[in-house]
Chain A
Amino acid sequence: MSIEPKEYQAPVWHEPVIHQMGAPGRRGVLFSRVEDEIEAGVGPAADLIPEAVRRRDRPALPELSEPEALYHYLRLSQQTLGMMGISLFGTCTMKYNPSVNEAISWRPEITEVHPLQHDDTLQGTLEIVYGMDLILRELSGMDQFVFQAGGGAEAAYVNCAVTRGYHAARGELEQRNEIITTIQTHPSSAATAATAGFKVITLMLDENGYPSLDALKAAVSNRTAALMVNNPDDMGVYNPEIKEWVRIVHEAGGLAFHDSANFNGIIGKLRPREIGFDACMFMLHKTFGAPKSGVGGPAVGAYGCSAELAPFLPSPLVAFDGHRYRLDYDRPQSIGKIREFWGNVPVVVKAYAWSRSVGAEGMGQVSDLSVLANNYMEKGLLAIRGVTRSHPDATSPRLEMTRYSLQTLKEETGVDIHDVQNRMTDFGIDAPWTSHEPWLLPEPITPEAGEMWGKEALDNWIAVLKKVSDEAYSDPELVKTAPHNQAVHRLKPGVIDDPDTRAMTWRAYQRKTAHQSARRRASPGEVPGQPGE
């Protein structure tokens, strides 16, 4: 590889906090005085606000001119730390979201409708939602999808609620109070199972990189309510015994849920239902090309299940009788609502547009390219000094991502994964993902190439990690003090961990710094951290 990584330079604006800007009385817009005639008609403007909710004092807001406010936020936007570099953020399936899909979802036919309109006036919107349902049924083998969940974790929760409904209907809920998951399944499975009132059994990995069948057999019993598992898991490992897993869980009377978060590695190749799973979940904001919008942003966790479980799905479902689409609320066994209405429709529209443009054949290419790109990267990355792979001897295939460890690099140079993350951003690479907690593998790093980046971008990513490794061995201080080209340097540890210094609002910051100055005066020996750095 002959790429010489080029350093990047982020703009540094040294912007103060907005509360420290402006001057008393300065305004963005000056409104004209209310004319006497109008005031005589309606009374003073302030009286239009009911007494009980009227402020006693003016709000302590910043006072700025319009350009000052505009430039301030423009500058801050230029100092964001990512989403503009090469972003191979493992377990997240980062994709470019085509502008045309964005434009479609901003059309008034989407933005100006309301979920409480009469079905007759929503036929086009309902058709798109129903169309997405059909596409996902085809990809998963499931019989019905629902789009209500606002994200992946919420869809995992739908599964727990459906599991509860299913066992309750059979009179077994009290007995079946355990959900089995694995340590490399996304932690939201364990978390939502616990939230729904189940006991959680988490299986650890065997030498092969996935839990053994014996561990599963030791875990199942007549208390088993369900299995919740990623496959491929959060390290890109595909459990080749998964069919047997599902069989064992079914035999024990439990349900099997496939968290299809990592579906990019198998899309168009495998249907969870054909493996035996009773339900699955897709994140439209990952695999299906809608923006990820940051964790918790407008997203959709599309949950699908077998016909046997469908009566328990949240309401409403979008139904079609061959002529007309309608929202079906008449579902007596439904678990009710997980979230308001019937889903983040703009996200469904973007995913639908993405799916239709990629097409059935293209879906198969998505997994081909993702797996190919990951394996291409693996060759390049394992050639870098200090980089090793998890379970190096395991024969289980890695699909769309691989978990690497920089433990050797750390032992030999003192440079750890966080230093490497920081230094990579100096070259225009978005800080790579490490691993969910707990870290099973020390100093983890998990790039996921996906299908959309070209070979040049992947080569560049590899070349940057190689460059940083070289630097770690020749000049470790350079890496340990990174980033050097970013808008901000690394945060001082401690300040944001300590409730005494951590501040989420300006008012809290002022209160806590005042408190600290008082403390400093009281005990001169103690020097608390400086917030705001």
Chain B
Amino acid sequence: MTAGATLGLIINPVAGMGGSVGLKGTDGEDVLREAWRRGAQPAAEKRARAAVTRLTESVTPLRVLTGSGESGEDVVRAAGLDVEVVHRAAPGPTTSADTRAAADVMAARSVDLLLFVGGDGTARDILAVVGDGVPVLGVPAGVKMHSAVFGTSPRNAGHLAALFLAGSPAARLREAEVMDLDEAAFRGDRLSARLHGYARSPYERHLSQNAKAGSGVGSEASLQVAARQVAAGMRPGCLYILGPGTTTRRVADALGLPSTLLGVDAVMDGRVVGADLDEQALLEVMRGRETWIVVGVLGGQGSLFGRGNQQISAEVIRRAGRERIIVLSSLEKLIALRTAALHVDTGDAEVDAMLAGYIRIETGPDRSTLYKVEA
């Protein structure tokens, strides 16, 4: 343990409340009021306590920057840790503005890790302020958790935070998607998830031996080569649609082309044909051209189409054809998914059915696996 590690802790005390009473989320004051009215109980504090308890079992001394009262201070004091309150919420329910204000101070103070207790909404608020400035890890407590920044359980998140703060080589940083659904649409039974960006988030490398030196070629390096192979294998005169995310960005990098991290680009014969395209623009550039779709796996729940890359619509997929979809992902990422199958939700049952079944995923140089796709 390096002396004086500093942790930022943000608890969204109302996270998850909407879910228990069928509200599919807790974003915004009206929804929160409705959740209270329906008798929802705050659960975030309990989850925060589980994570912090686990953390303190391994890491001492530890300095914690946090918000007043239920947004962190209470839990940290109860755990007997050194606490500094860096943000005081106005009386009344905590808001998204409180999360952002606290995160802002923590980023300015360069905390070693920002641990938050919440869901996708909280993750998004924090990302908006800290970007990739400080490492971020989520204690799962929300209704929606499509982002890849969460530990598998509160205690595991605490454990991972402890490993990371202790400088363990088993805890490494990766780029983790921050995704969020549009809650209003979700409550209307229409799903619309967006990829908001990437946080730097620790994950636990599972190794046969603790701190084993040079354990294999990194998953990242393997993916890099796989991306180069995809780029090298591109056929002349064919259009390649590159989905959002850092995985597909590697393909653009391999081609020496600029790319839109959170958007969809199209390339052909080593040139960018269109950047940050929407569905209509994609259909336009596809016209009369054999088209291939290159996508990564998005989020912690393993979405292939329909979450974060809606621009690649059912119609786009239909016209390209299933056999012209190239999926790229590291094996490590696939194994870490909270599900055994990849999910598609294009809004078109016929296309979803066409995508269902086993699909090939390129995981490294001349390495691939097959994963089940479910609607």
Chain A residues within 8 Å of B, Cβ to Cβ: 183, 190, 194, 198-204, 207, 214-215, 218-219, 410-411, 414, 418, 434-440, 442, 476, 480, 490-491, 493-494, 496-497, 502
Q: Which residues of B contact A437 (CB under 8 A)?
A: 206-208, 215-216
Residue of chain B at shortest CB distance from A413: B57
Residue of chain A at shortest CB distance from B156: A411
Given known contacts A411-B153, A411-B156, A494-B211, is B206 in contact with A218 (CB within 8 Å)?
no
Judge whether A440 and B335 touch: CB under 8 Å.
yes
Judge whether B159 and A190 touch: CB under 8 Å.
no
* Between-chain CB contacts (< 8 Å), 6 pairs: A194-B365, A200-B367, A437-B208, A438-B206, A496-B213, A497-B213
Q: Which residues of A contact B159 (CB under 8 A)?
A: 410, 414
Chain B residues within 8 Å of A, Cβ to Cβ: 54, 57-58, 153, 155-156, 159, 167-170, 206-211, 213-216, 331-332, 334-335, 340, 357-358, 360, 363, 365-372
**Interface SS, A side:** loop
Closest-CB distance, A206 to chain B (whole angstroms)? 8
Q: Which residues of A contact B58 (CB under 8 A)?
A: 414, 480
Closest-CB distance, A211 to chain B (whole angstroms)? 8
Judge whether B371 and A204 touch: CB under 8 Å.
yes
Given known contacts A207-B340, A218-B357, A414-B57, is B208 in contact with A435 (CB within 8 Å)?
yes
Q: Which residues of B contact A496 (CB under 8 A)?
A: 211, 213
- Given A200-B366, A436-B208, 10 more A-B residue pairs with CB atoms under 8 Å apart are A194-B366, A200-B367, A214-B357, A218-B358, A411-B156, A434-B209, A437-B206, A438-B331, A493-B168, A497-B211
Given known contacts A437-B206, A497-B211, is B370 in contact with A219 (CB within 8 Å)?
yes
Judge whether B335 and A190 touch: CB under 8 Å.
no
Tell me, in angstroms, the Cα distance from A476 to B156 when the chains sit together: 16
Q: Which residues of A contact B214 (CB under 8 A)?
A: 497
Closest-CB distance, B202 to chain A (whole angstroms)? 15
Judge whether A476 and B368 touch: CB under 8 Å.
no
Tell me, in angstroms, the Cα distance from A199 to B225 when the chains sit together: 14
Partner of A418, one of B210, B215, B331: B210
Tell me, in angstroms, the Cα distance from A414 to B53 when the chains sit together: 10
Judge whether A203 and B370 touch: CB under 8 Å.
yes
Judge whether B210 and A493 touch: CB under 8 Å.
yes
Most buried by B among A418, A440, A476: A418
Judge whether A493 and B169 touch: CB under 8 Å.
yes
Q: Which residues of A contact B363 (CB under 8 A)?
A: 202
Residue of chain A at shortest CB distance from B50: A411
Q: Which residues of A contact B213 (CB under 8 A)?
A: 496-497, 502
Partner of A201, one of B54, B153, B210, B369: B369
Closest-CB distance, B55 to chain A (whole angstroms)? 10
Judge whether B358 and A491 touch: CB under 8 Å.
no
Q: Which residues of B contact A490 (CB under 8 A)?
A: 210
Tell me, in angstroms, the Cα distance from A494 to B166 when the chains sit together: 11
Closest-CB distance, B333 to chain A (whole angstroms)? 11
Q: Which residues of B contact A476 (CB under 8 A)?
A: 57
Q: Which residues of B contact A201 (CB under 8 A)?
A: 360, 368-370
Closest-CB distance, A500 to chain B (whole angstroms)? 12
Judge whether A204 and B369 touch: CB under 8 Å.
yes
Tell me, in angstroms, the Cα distance from A202 to B209 when the chains sit together: 23
Judge whether A438 and B335 touch: CB under 8 Å.
yes
Tell me, in angstroms, the Cα distance from A440 to B368 when the chains sit together: 17
Closest-CB distance, B115 to chain A (whole angstroms)? 16
Judge whether A214 and B358 touch: CB under 8 Å.
yes
Given known contacts A411-B153, A418-B210, A493-B169, is B332 in contact with A438 (CB within 8 Å)?
yes
Closest-CB distance, A531 to chain B (whole angstroms)? 12
Judge whether A218 and B211 touch: CB under 8 Å.
no
Residue of chain B at shortest CB distance from A412: B155
Closest-CB distance, A496 to chain B (whole angstroms)? 5
Tell me, in angstroms, the Cα distance from A431 to B10 when the chains sit together: 40
Judge whether B211 and A491 touch: CB under 8 Å.
yes
Partner of B206, one of A190, A198, A207, A439: A439
Residue of chain A at shortest CB distance from B357: A218
Tell me, in angstroms, the Cα distance from A439 to B203 when the chains sit together: 14
Q: Which residues of A contact B332 (CB under 8 A)?
A: 438
Judge whether A215 and B156 touch: CB under 8 Å.
no
Closest-CB distance, A286 to chain B (whole angstroms)? 18
Judge whether A442 and B206 touch: CB under 8 Å.
yes
Judge whether B369 and A198 touch: CB under 8 Å.
no
7 smallest CB-CB distances across A and B, nearest first, come from: A218-B358, A439-B206, A493-B211, A199-B366, A418-B210, A496-B213, A202-B369
Tell me, in angstroms, the Cα distance from A496 to B213 when the chains sit together: 6
Judge whether B368 and A202 touch: CB under 8 Å.
yes
Tell me, in angstroms, the Cα distance from A476 to B334 when the chains sit together: 32
Tell me, in angstroms, the Cα distance from A468 to B153 when the chains sit together: 24
Q: Which residues of B contact A204 (CB under 8 A)?
A: 334, 340, 369-371
Tell me, in angstroms, the Cα distance from A395 to B334 when the chains sit together: 25
Closest-CB distance, A221 to chain B (whole angstroms)? 11
Q: Which residues of A contact B156 (CB under 8 A)?
A: 411
Q: Which residues of A contact B169 (CB under 8 A)?
A: 493-494, 497
Residue of chain A at shortest CB distance from B162: A414
Residue of chain B at shortest CB distance from A216: B370
Tell me, in angstroms, the Cα distance from A288 to B4 when the chains sit together: 55
Partner of A414, one of B54, B167, B207, B340: B54
Tell me, in angstroms, the Cα distance from A493 to B169 when the chains sit together: 7
Partner of A199, one of B54, B368, B371, B372: B368
Q: Which residues of B contact A203 (CB under 8 A)?
A: 369-370
